[in-house]
Amino acid sequence: MTILIEQPEFEGGIGERNKGPVDENELVLDGGFVVPETMPDEGFVAPDTNSFGHTFRDYHVESERQKGVEDFYRTNHINQTVDFVRRMRGEYGKLNKVEMSIWECCELLNEFVDESDPDLDEPQIEHLLQTAEAIRKDYPDEDWLHLTGLIHDLGKVLLHPAFGELPQWAVVGDTFPVGCAYDESIVHHKYFLENPDYKNPVYNTKYGIYSEGCGLDNVLMSWGHDDYMYLVAKENKSAFPSAGLFIIRYHSFYALHRADAYKHLMNEEDIENLKWLKIFNKYDLYSKSKVRIDVEEVKPYYLSLIKKYFPAKLKW
Ligand SMILES: [Fe+2]
Ligand SMILES: [Fe+2]
């Protein structure tokens, strides 16, 4: 593994921590969405509780963890600016940090747990394979979607020292466009008031620096594991389909796939791909439960998918 990066600097730092009370009306939406009474789609039966025995995405459970999540979003919303995203894309888009296979990346990621996510307290590889296997069961013919389940969170290696050990707020959590007005459906929207772009007339209108139907490809998204993995999958000249890339880039974009915001920026292809993202997303959430996966048993299948869609070694 070649390591060529130093710790990037952050304007405004990680920021001071909010000491205020948790707003009970706001839900933090990272690993999933508010659980409906019954799941509208056929085929997939969602478990009732997550690893901690709580309802999924239940941020009302009194806990230090919940307060940590609100602090997390305050820092995230203050620091995710157009300038920040451009700098991160410029730096990480070089893909000159590491050369490794998809599976090596799964193993590397296994060292981390996502602190923004109230539903997940297990090694990431469990979550990846749970997601992939649940999809495989219901959509046996869509092998690219199984692989999407396996790789969608690999961008979280940004937390690793080999990738500059980015702070959590620059890696995980819900994502949103920058360069245009922050939609009110975005979790903890009030913290955008402290973001310098919020008052910038170039960036704070409905379209901002974009135009109607310009396509989400042309929209800068807040920086994190989603956009990073999208760049990796796209730039390594993979045979991976456009719907898979779309899922990877927007799987934490809850304002889009739960609240239907930002439709005015979408083009025809985005509208098609959004259907797959909505299917994918319920597996991303509900597979975070105590379903144990025998990694060695399923590994040959996933290695064959990796071989089909990606080069043996990727630039990261
Ligand atoms: Fe994710
Ligand atoms: Fe995930």
CA of 182 to the centre of ligand 2 (A): 23
CA of 113 to the centre of ligand 1 (A): 11
Which residues form the domain of 304?
64-315
CB contact at 8 A, 229 and 106: no
Q: Is residue 179 part of a domain?
A: yes
Q: Tens digits of per-residue pLDDT, 114-161?
A: 455 555 556 778 889 999 999 999 999 999 999 999 999 999 999 999
CA of 292 to the centre of ligand 1 (A): 20
Q: Is residue 45 part of a domain?
A: no
**HEC string for 201-221:** CCCCCCCCCCCCCCCHHHCCE
Q: Is residue 148 part of a domain?
A: yes
Q: Tens digits of per-residue pLDDT, 65-108?
A: 778 888 999 999 999 999 999 999 999 999 999 999 999 999 99
pLDDT of residue 29: 31
Note the ligand closest to the C-alpha atom of 173: 1
Average pLDDT, the chain: 82
Residue 226 identity: D
Q: Please state, for a pLDDT cut of 90, what percent of the chain lies above it.
A: 67
Q: Is residue 52 part of a domain?
A: no
Note the ligand closest to the C-alpha atom of 252: 1
Q: Is residue 285 part of a domain?
A: yes
* Structure tokens given for 120: 């997940």
Q: Tens digits of per-residue pLDDT, 11-42?
A: 333 332 232 332 322 223 333 222 222 233 33
Note the ligand closest to the C-alpha atom of 225: 1
In the numeric block, the tokens 């389909």 are attached to: 241
Question: From the CB of residue 255, how many other CB atoms can be counted at a distance below 10 Å?
Answer: 23
Residue 189 labelled as part of a binding site: no
pLDDT above 90 (res 236): yes
Q: Count of domains in the chain? A: 1
Which residues make Cβ contacts (< 8 Å) with residue 119, sequence separation at least 6?
31, 32, 50, 51, 52, 56, 57, 285, 288
CA of 175 to the centre of ligand 2 (A): 13
Helices then strands, counting H and E runs in the chain, come out as: 10, 2
pLDDT above 60 (res 206): yes
CB contact at 8 A, 127 and 32: no
Q: Is residue 17 part of a domain?
A: no
pLDDT of residue 89: 98
